[in-house]
Amino acid sequence: MSFMIDRTCQKAAFLLGTALMLGTGLVTADVLNVSATEAVDPAAAAQPTDPAVTADPNAAAQPTDPNAVTQPADPNAASAPNATTDITTTTQPAAPKKQTVVLTEELKKDIENSHAPGAKDAIINGYLSLLNKEYILKDELDIDLVSVGHGHQLERRSAKEITQMMKDAKSVGMRMNLTSAYRTYMKQVYLFKNKIERLEQEGYSHEKAVKEAGTVVAVPGTSEHQLGLTLDFVTGSYKNLDEGIRNTKEYQWTEKHAWEYGYVIRYHKDKSAITGIISEPWHLRYVGIPAAQLMTEQDLCLEEFLGVAYDDQRDGISYGAGWINTGR
């Protein structure tokens, strides 16, 4: 499968990438405090990112492992969909609860086996960073996170924009509630491990439980939530993360205006063959206003905008320019 990228769009992407690297108002690798070639983990192919999965309360009752890695609980998964109405930005988020994740050799192997064969390191390039099943994030990123209320966190610029977007939506009678935002790598490990254990309790073999878990919970390293640029939302009257949200006035307003705040609806149904993710109309991704405008006007997903083709034409990747040159 291949697709052609509008040359104007490629040029714009190049200019945007240059702006990213120069730090002209958009987040850069410096803001994320990682190198441009550092690894990133893509979202699992043809499967939902399942932001609604919450931690198993029974999981904490396990014996203490001296090798356990203690991580903050994901503030995003714990909040009910209607818990956030108005969001505010502060650099003093409340201290999250602690969860213990034992990253055993078996669990590491389960995660690695759940990644796509031949997967590469994620492309970290500021707001145009790419995570999907083909490009994987293997560790935490150092991100300038701020609170957007009720335990949720986002990268500073994206937090400012979504705060303004929700205020503007409210001023015209819309009610949007943020339900999930930034997640750590270890939080995703916790959710993945927890799902495997639940399935095993239901009678699945370990091998089948691992495979099934990867279709419900994003495999660690493949979730865009790890970038701090992604959020999920519901509305005041519709609380489900499903296709029904398309029928709400809030979604229709968002579809039309999100680009004005630098956001795009990341996973459209007609782009699933390219993104590897099923339709998720509730999933917003911050890419910056110039990129969001071009992507919206030309009906491009991020992979198309960057020029990444899933047809094994992956030579000539240009990290510094902010777009991917596949040689066409």
Contact 268, 301 (CB under 8 A): yes
Nearest residue to 189 (alpha-carbon basis) of 32, 283, 55 = 55
* Angle (nearest 5°) at CA 101 between 98 and 107: 165
Contacts of 226 (CB under 8 A, 6+ apart): 40, 41, 131, 137, 140, 141, 182, 183, 184, 185, 188
For strand 120-121 and strand 135-136, is the pairing parallel, antiparallel, or unpaired? parallel
3-state secondary structure of 59: helix
Three-state SS for 98?
strand
The tokens of 183 are what?
A: 């997640």
Identify whether the C-beta of residue 106 lies closer than 8 Å to the C-beta of residue 200: no
Amino acid identity for residue 245 in this structure: I
- Provide φ and ψ at 136, rounded to 5°: -115, 140
Integer Cα distance of 291 and 126 in angstroms = 12
Total residue count of the chain as it appears in this document:
328
Whether 276 and 301 have beta carbons less than 8 Å apart is answered as no
Of the candidates 134, 161, 280, 303, the residue annotated as catalytic is 280
Residue 153 contacts residue 232 (beta carbons within 8 Å): no
Is 255 assigned a catalytic role? no
The number of CA neighbours under 13 Å toward the Cβ of 19 is 17
Q: How far apart are CA 96 and CA 190, in angstroms?
A: 15
* Residue 322, H or E segment: none
Provide the annotated active-site residues: 280
